[in-house]
A and B are shown apart, each in its own frame.
Chain A
């Protein structure tokens, strides 16, 4: 009896969810629905280059193992997926297998897309066949260093890390929560960035959404822990962040997250963003003992130039101290005391304060350095934001000096930046030890086999 009840409530939930999904996705036009889902999944972010045509691929995605180049997923029959059947499309999306049987690298987040419902996969398929312009240009092929260029090895990896079952709603939670869970775990694939990875580059399922170093940018802890995560954020603030990438007094999106908001999240309808916020708010708290307070709670207004105003300057900027570097490069927008322009700009103020700002609040200081090196630029249609890149204006030492000044006075004083770190981030981040590990592993295995062969050979020799 109990089982039937559970099954029944699960079914009604699923039906309600699909219904709300339908209602939410602008009616029954399946191509439009597919387009909405593709936006939610942010396919365009990886499958297009900045200058190239939509979905024509060619983006070289830097991973710790090397560059993975995205493919052309326009309906071109020569260069794209124009010949794919629905089944082949489903296999690629959910199992990471191409039409020719080769495996995809998990830079394609098929581990997340595996959660998609059949209906949604079908809508996506139809959108990509009928709603996207075909582009007959094939991008460069991916060529990872040995042994990762052996794609069949992905089969083993998938055994470990691919849980290929579609999303099953949780009967004890609300419709909105389930919608948010479906989106977050599936199309929005939050965990592929925000969940830390194991040594074998799989998601560490014991610490979901606990934050991960992406090589250069850092995807922060978005669990509900009030200190290490975003537990102190209200649902409204979360939904606002997903809409605009900006919550004054807390955070603003930069780097890859800014792209996610520009390409994907701000185009969702408000109910879906609220659903995502509802779900994220319940993500199990992942506490890091090193964190003493929430990343958005550090710092206060501070004008460091005080005693140095009017003082004679060093003849070259490499000798400027932190306060002088700040005065020369940052204060013009962020103000002498770091308070930004909240007073003038209203809630979409695009010159943020540097205190109570998560970009300076994490122990992992990479985002601060990346914001300085690459700047922050948002696309047209959203708030007018351009923090210029300083990579060719500041040396590694200057970035480090400036960053430490900022962290000391406006951010997390336990976080530090070194010139070495800046140099490494400029170059694209640390490479994974996995490559060396794998190669050493192979050498060891071969050596082991040789030893075994020799021993066996010896054994076979007839005893005198």
Chain B
């Protein structure tokens, strides 16, 4: 197809535009490393202490949520927040754990039993369930949001709804019968 000698000469000569582009990409690539330390620092800075959740917390969480698998990072963060907002959380946790081990209570009547017996840690299961399902820990001015979109209440309905502030879908997609999706 290339029958013009000048054209043939041109295709052999270096393409300056291509070089510019490559130079740009390369220097950009190198420069990007400069920002990495900053972004890593930023990611670390605002996060509070995330302790490793102990096994009794994980086991009790599995029992209260009815789930075999729970996200490890979520567990760590929730545990740390519960410790920070509930006085003597670890002590109550141990009491709860012992109670479950000794009495093997049915889940359906667990709360009623704890309330009836006016046990010191009676509010603990509710706090743990709230932490996992609602993602909020503490109350009043001390309340903190730990999870939102990964809160189990939204996971429970993820085939039907999105957590508020996330798009349901393209315009009009909400008109369909939700059971037909």
Give yes or no for direct A-B contact (beta carbon below 8 Å).
yes
Q: Which residues of A contact B (CB under 8 A)?
A: 159-161, 163, 196-200, 202, 204-206, 213, 303, 305-314, 319, 321-323, 331-333, 335-336, 341, 343-345, 348-351, 363-364, 383-384, 400-401, 404, 414-418, 420-421, 430, 432-434, 437
Residue in chain A with minimal CB distance to B11: A206
Task: Check if B149 sits within 8 Å of A336, measured CB to CB.
Answer: yes
The residue among B1, B25, B77 with the most chain A CB atoms within 10 A of its own CB is B25
Task: Check if A323 sits within 8 Å of B181, measured CB to CB.
Answer: no
Task: Check if B17 sits within 8 Å of A213, measured CB to CB.
Answer: yes
Q: Which of B109-117, B121-129, B160-168 contacts A (4 or more CB under 8 A)?
A: B160-168
Given contacts A309-B148, A404-B32, A417-B28, are A323 and B43 in contact (CB under 8 A)?
A: yes
Residue in chain A with minimal CB distance to B146: A310
Number of residues of chain B lying within 8 A (CB) of chain A: 51
Given contacts A213-B21, A336-B149, A345-B170, are A321 and B47 in contact (CB under 8 A)?
A: no
Asked if B103 CB lies within 8 Å of chain A CBs, one says no
Chain A's nearest CB lies how many Å from the CB of B172? 8
Contact mask for chain B residues 134-157; partner A; CB cutoff 8 A; 1 contact, 0 none: 010000000011111110000000
| Cβ–Cβ < 8 Å partners of B46 in chain A | 308, 311-314
Residue of B31, B39, B50, B170 near A351 (CB, 8 A) is B170
29 of the cross-chain contacts (CB-CB < 8 Å) are A159-B4, A160-B4, A163-B1, A196-B18, A198-B13, A199-B13, A202-B7, A204-B11, A205-B2, A205-B11, A303-B149, A307-B50, A310-B135, A310-B146, A312-B46, A319-B42, A332-B167, A333-B167, A341-B169, A344-B168, A345-B173, A350-B170, A351-B167, A351-B170, A416-B28, A416-B29, A417-B32, A420-B31, A433-B17
Q: How many angstroms between the C-alpha atoms of A69 and B171 in the bound complex?
A: 37
Chain B's nearest CB lies how many Å from the CB of A387? 12
Given contacts A196-B18, A306-B150, are A344 and B173 in contact (CB under 8 A)?
A: yes
Contact mask for chain B residues 53-69; partner A; CB cutoff 8 A; 1 contact, 0 none: 00000000000000000
Asked if B35 CB lies within 8 Å of chain A CBs, one says yes
Q: Which 3 A-B pairs have the closest CB atoms?
A: A344-B169, A310-B145, A311-B46
Apart from A308-B43, A417-B32, list 19 A-B contacts with CB within 8 A.
Answer: A160-B10, A196-B17, A199-B14, A303-B149, A306-B150, A307-B47, A307-B50, A307-B77, A308-B46, A309-B148, A344-B168, A344-B181, A383-B170, A384-B170, A400-B35, A417-B28, A418-B31, A432-B17, A433-B20
Q: Which residues of B contact A (CB under 8 A)?
A: 1-2, 4, 6-7, 10-11, 13-18, 20-21, 24-25, 27-29, 31-32, 35, 39, 42-43, 46-48, 50, 73-74, 77, 135, 144-150, 162, 165-171, 173, 181
Chain A's nearest CB lies how many Å from the CB of B170? 4
Interface of A is mostly: loop
| Cβ–Cβ < 8 Å partners of B11 in chain A | 198, 204-206
| Cβ–Cβ < 8 Å partners of B21 in chain A | 213, 364
| Cβ–Cβ < 8 Å partners of A364 in chain B | 21, 25
Chain B's nearest CB lies how many Å from the CB of A195? 12
Residue of B20, B39, B148, B167 near A401 (CB, 8 A) is B39
| Cβ–Cβ < 8 Å partners of B146 in chain A | 309-310
Residue of B18, B25, B169 near A345 (CB, 8 A) is B169
| Cβ–Cβ < 8 Å partners of A305 in chain B | 149
| Cβ–Cβ < 8 Å partners of A401 in chain B | 35, 39
Q: How many angstroms between the C-alpha atoms of A307 and B47 in the bound complex?
A: 7
| Cβ–Cβ < 8 Å partners of B17 in chain A | 196-197, 199, 213, 432-433
| Cβ–Cβ < 8 Å partners of B10 in chain A | 160, 198-200, 202
| Cβ–Cβ < 8 Å partners of A308 in chain B | 43, 46-47
